[in-house]
Amino acid sequence: QKEVEQDPGPLSVPEGAIVSLNCTYSNSAFQYFMWYRQYSRKGPELLMYTYSSGNKEDGRFTAQVDKSSKYISLFIRDSQPSDSATYLCAMSGGSNYKLTFGKGTLLTVNP
Amino acid sequence: DAGVIQSPRHEVTEMGQEVTLRCKPISGHDYLFWYRQTMMRGLELLIYFNNNVPIDDSGMPEDRFSAKMPNASFSTLKIQPSEPRDSAVYFCASSFRGTSQETQYFGPGTRLLVL
């Protein structure tokens, strides 16, 4: 079993839709959870960061962590064509700076 | 700030040749990471440095891969000899051990094709 599992998609939605992206993990030592966005032919950029169970909101984006189920989600409200990208979940544990990434989900928002 | 700078942006080489990828981290950052991204395996950490010292190189696939960080503003990843299976996008990232210690800033990547 891989440490981090992420459905690669692709996911195609109409503009304005609510998007839900998910990852599961197996390593209980993971304490920090991130979502990175990667546009085509670019490097990943940090979108959301959280270290506790529950929800964290930033504009149209909400990150949700359920440590008991080892499950994290990213919700995008009122999705825009500019949100079209690959979304990667990432996580790390304790003082370890190593990030373990999911394979990424390719999202396309159609105008 | 210019962000993380990588060179070259594209590299095409023949099997058996030496390849050197370069990275300039964000000024003031004390962590530097080298990643490899492929469709099959996703984004994998190869090695990371703290204050120019290699901390964990367990992700380096083989002895053909080596990385150095001679100073705080420069790092190299070398593949010698290169093989077709090394074809991938190689990313360098840097971070600062501050309040957002997990925030890694990625460069634009080097697309490597080994023929």
CA angle A101, B73, B18 (to 5 degrees): 70
Each residue of A11-67: pLDDT tens digit?
999 999 999 999 999 998 898 899 999 999 999 999 998 888 889 999 999 999 999
Check CB contact of B43 with chain A, cutoff 8 Å: yes
- Report residue A89: phi and psi, to 5°: -85, 150
Which among A41, A43, A99 has the least Cβ separation from residue B45?
A: A99
B9 touches chain A (CB under 8 A): no
Contact at CB, B104 and A99, closer than 8 angstroms = yes
Q: CB distance from B25 to chain A under 8 Å?
A: no
E-assigned strand segments in B1-115 = 5-7, 10-13, 19-24, 31-38, 42-50, 53-56, 65-71, 74-79, 88-95, 105-106, 110-114
B51 touches chain A (CB under 8 A): no
3-state helix, strand, coil split of chain A in percent (to 5) is 5, 55, 45
Percent of chain B with pLDDT over 70: 95
pLDDT tens by residue, B65-84:
999 999 999 999 999 999 99
The count of other CB atoms within 10 Å of the CB of residue A103 is 23
Position A43, amino acid: G
Residue to substitute from A48, A97, A101, interface B, most B β-carbons within 10 A: A97
